[in-house]
Amino acid sequence: MRTPACAIVLGSGLGALADDLEGARRVPFGAVPGFPEATVAGHAGALVAGALAGLEVVLLAGRFHLYEGHAPQLAAFPARVVHALGARTLFVSNAAGGVRRTFRPGDLMVIADHLNLMGVNPLVGAVEEGDARFPDLSDPYDAPLRHVLRSAAASAGVPVQEGVYAGLLGPSYETPAEVRMLERFGADAVGMSTVPEVIAAKAMGMRVAGVSCITNPASGTSLAPLDHADVLAVGREASGRFRALVTEFVRRLD
């Protein structure tokens, strides 16, 4: 395959972007050495390569979560695979609960920073060849790429907001007390993924950008109980806006 200009991780309910690739080549996760099968609903479990907006990209249609019992190193392993394929820009996406009270289901949030509240770090242990031992995370989601995302959103007519993503271990949804804590910590959205991949990518020197699809109000901010089926449904509803945003973002990559 040709060297990808960008690698894109697709979160829950956002996998339809794979249908937009030209000349798509698909490899199931189970056929990739070191990859387990994807087990979470809403994750196709495939590595897909092809052209998007005229540029070669590689998509990860699914990911590995800590709450599935995977080690943090495995949760971050897909980032290492796409780096080995030549990608130097990583775009991450996820479904997230809206901690910020003004968020509504279907909103898209450009990730400006994250809180690692998972209790683990994928870099613990021996240093991987080429990694920084103590990577700088003062700008985990590259400011220039955030500017590109905002510009792409304006061009595509897709409203976006910006905020901080809190990564929790899961699989239980957060309690109302935990959401109040997250508000005080400065979080705008909360989920159970993304952070391990981003930390590993930064250790390898990759540029990172990310978007959260707000699929539900965080626990305690709504009377409705939280349900994964609803998360997937909102992700599918927002898929058209997400696809337009990502396509325009890729078009603007240098």
Q: Is 216 annotated as a binding residue?
A: yes
Residues in the chain: 254
Give counts: helices (H), strands (E), the chain: 6, 9
Which residue is catalytic, options 5, 18, 43, 87? 43
Decide if 121 is catalytic: no
Decide if 94 is catalytic: no
Beta bridge partners of 90: 7, 208
Decide if 192 is catalytic: yes
End-to-end Cα spacing for the chain: 20
Q: Is 88 annotated as a binding residue?
A: no
Query: Would you say 189 and 99 are in contact if contact means Cβ atoms under 8 Å apart?
Result: yes
Question: Which tokens sit at 211?
Answer: 């978007």
Which residue is catalytic, options 5, 38, 87, 95? 95
Which residue is catalytic, options 12, 93, 219, 239? 12
Which residue is catalytic, options 46, 156, 192, 204? 192
| Residue 154 amino acid letter | A
Which residue is catalytic, options 7, 56, 61, 65? 65
Query: Would you say 182 and 99 are in contact if contact means Cβ atoms under 8 Å apart?
Result: yes
Decide if 43 is catalytic: yes
Residue 224 neighbours by CB distance under 10 Å: 9
Which residue is catalytic, options 93, 193, 219, 239? 193
Decide if 216 is catalytic: yes
Which residue is catalytic, options 53, 70, 181, 228? 228
Crossing angle for the helix pair 239-251 and 143-156, to the nearest 10 degrees: 120
Q: Is 22 annotated as a binding residue?
A: no
Q: Is 151 annotated as a binding residue?
A: no
Which residue is catalytic, options 16, 24, 51, 67? 67
Q: Is 189 annotated as a binding residue?
A: no
Q: Is 252 annotated as a binding residue?
A: no
Decide if 95 is catalytic: yes
Decide if 12 is catalytic: yes
Which residue is catalytic, options 216, 218, 219, 239? 216
Q: Is 152 annotated as a binding residue?
A: no
Q: Is 63 annotated as a binding residue?
A: yes
Of the candidates 114, 113, 208, 106, the residue with the CA atom closest to the CA atom of residue 159: 106
CA-to-CA distance for 155 and 94, rounded, in angstroms?
22
Q: Is 193 annotated as a binding residue?
A: yes
Of the candidates 209, 113, 112, 211, the residue with the CA atom closest to the CA atom of residue 158: 211
- Pick out the residues of the known binding site: 12, 43, 63-65, 95, 174, 193, 216
> Hey, which residues are catalytic here?
12, 43, 65, 67-68, 95, 192-193, 216, 228
- Enumerate the known binding-site residues for phosphate: 12, 43, 63-65, 95, 193
Q: List binding-site positions for a purine D-ribonucleoside.
A: 174, 216
